[in-house]
Amino acid sequence: MKNRKKIFAIFLLISLFFLGFIAYQVITIYEAHATFEGYCKWRGLVVVNKSIDYGYCRNEISGEEFKMVLVDNRWYLDGDLPNNWPF
């Protein structure tokens, strides 16, 4: 009987850990897509310039520039839009 309680407690702790981790990831991604600056920072890029519905960010190490676009009030990497996802 004690073994079942220990196993259940361990399972419960592991489940709570994973649920917390998933919630953290969802919140982080939601906040990243909310602003242009946040999305560039989340991708590890530096803001170059921005307009109302698009902007450019640069990777400081390689110097490569990326275009970000605003779709449905959320920022995405151009070419990585939600309507292009296979699922």
Q: What does the pLDDT look like over 9-66, one tens digit per residue?
A: 999 999 999 999 999 998 888 888 888 888 888 888 898 998 888 999 998 889 899 9
Query: For residue 1, what pLDDT is reported?
Result: 66
Contact 12, 6 (CB under 8 A): no
81 or 74, which is more confident: 74
Give the confidence band of 85 by pLDDT, cuts at 50, 70, 90. Answer: low
CA distances from 17 to 7, 8, 12, 27, 32 (A): 15, 14, 9, 15, 22
Nearest Cα to 40, choosing from 31, 22, 23?
A: 31
d(CA 16, CA 5): 16
d(CA 32, CA 26): 10
